[in-house]
Amino acid sequence: MSGVFSRLKRWAREIERDVVALWIAARDSRTPFGAKVVAAIVAAYALSPIDLIPDFIPILGYLDDLFLIPLGMILAVRLIPNELVAEFRREASQRLERPRSAAGAAIVIVLWIAIAAILAWLLWPDRAIWS
C-alpha cells in the first residue's frame, strides 16, 4: 500500500512541476504560439487560487483537478518541442516557490459572473424587465 502512496506523491509533484513548467513556457519566446496559448490557459487555471468548481462541492469539486488540468497539460506538452519541455521542467524544478495566477482567478470570477447572469436571464420569470 505504501508503494501506491509513494507513486501518487511522486505523480502529484510531477504535476506541480509541470504546471510551473507550462507557466514558464507561456512566457518564453521560443514556445510556438498555439502551445503558448494552451500553456497559458492551463497554467493560469491551475495556479489560480480560485477553482471553477470549488473543491468543497462533493465529487465535482475535484473533477477539474483530476481531469481538466492533466488533460490540458498533456495537450500543451505535446505542442511544445521536447527539448524545450525538458528545459522548462528543469527550470521549474529549481524554483523554490510556486507562482500564483491573478489572471486565472480573474478569469474564473468572470466565468462565474457570466454563468450567474445567463442563469438569471434564463430563469427570470418576466424577462421584460431587462428590455
Taking residues 2-18, report their average pLDDT.
80
Q: Which residues contact 27 (CB under 8 A, 6 or more apart)?
A: none
The reported pLDDT for the residue numbered 129 is: 53
- Which of 34, 114, 117, 20 lies closest to 69, judged by CA? 20
Residue ranges per domain, the chain? 2-130
Phi (first) and psi of residue 55, to 5 degrees: -65, -20
Residue pLDDT, tens place only, 102-131: 777 777 788 878 888 888 888 876 655 555
Least reliable range by pLDDT among 11-20, 23-32, 94-103, 117-126:
94-103
The reported pLDDT for the residue numbered 83 is: 95
Q: Using CA atoms, how far apart are residues 116 and 19, in angstroms rounded to an integer? A: 29
The reported pLDDT for the residue numbered 41 is: 87
Long-range contacts made by residues 121-126, C-beta under 8 angstroms, separation at least 24? none
Residue pLDDT, tens place only, 50-107: 777 777 777 777 777 778 888 899 999 999 999 999 999 999 988 867 676 677 777 7
